[in-house]
Structure 1
Amino acid sequence: MEEKKREMEKETEKICKRCKHSYNTSSNTPSSCRFHPSFFVCRRHDDQKRYYELRPDDPPYAAKFYDCCGAEDPEALGCTTSFHVSYDDD
């Protein structure tokens, strides 16, 4: 009986295509996945007022940030939460 339960749990474990974490479908909630809905871009920010740390080889107009929230760290926690989405879901 216990072995059957473990097999069922393995079958429902998936990888989220947004945050790349593994999750169990039975515990997927509206706040399970934290991600950025937009890309990390390299361009001038719309507000034109922010100071950006640029490397010496970067062009002077370059700015690097998430287009959705303005976070400048590519490793920044996502600004949006939602359900995990599996690669199987289309």
Structure 2
Amino acid sequence: MEEKKEMEEEKEKICKRCKKSYTASSNTSSSCRFHPSFFVCRRHDDQKRYYELKPDDQPDAAKFYDCCGAEDPEAFGCTTSFHVSYDDD
């Protein structure tokens, strides 16, 4: 019984947030780096408020992560936490 539990813990899983593989024994509170919000396209004219795009706005008025404001879609995640598996409920 104990052996089965150990095997499950060392089984590699894929994190649904950062898409990296990990094992239960290597999963720490800083293992996963991700953006908790979406990459959005909105106008933010005063740098403090975000506005939804209107129909006549340019589609590239502003593109950024809603959580941290990073404008590069490949930007390093702004939040760290434990990995979360697709198998976890």
TM class by shorter chain equals 0.7 to 0.9
| Structure 1 counterpart of 2:37, one-letter code | S
Percentage of pairs with the same residue: 83
What RMSD over aligned residues (CA atoms) do the two structures have, in Å?
2.6
- Structure 1 unaligned blocks of 5 or more: 51-57
Question: Any idea what SS the aligned residue of 1:26 has?
Answer: helix
Paired residues, number: 76
In the alignment, which residue of structure 2 is the partner of 1:89?
A: 88
| Structure 2 counterpart of 1:63, one-letter code | A
- Structure 2 unaligned blocks of 5 or more: 49-56
In the alignment, which residue of structure 1 is the partner of 2:20?
A: 21
1:3-82 correspondence to structure 2 within 5 Å: 8=7, 12-45=11-44, 48-49=46-47, 59=58, 62-82=61-81
Question: Any idea what SS the aligned residue of 2:84 has?
Answer: coil
Q: Pick closer, same or farther for the CA change 1:61–1:14 going to 2, 3 Å.
A: closer
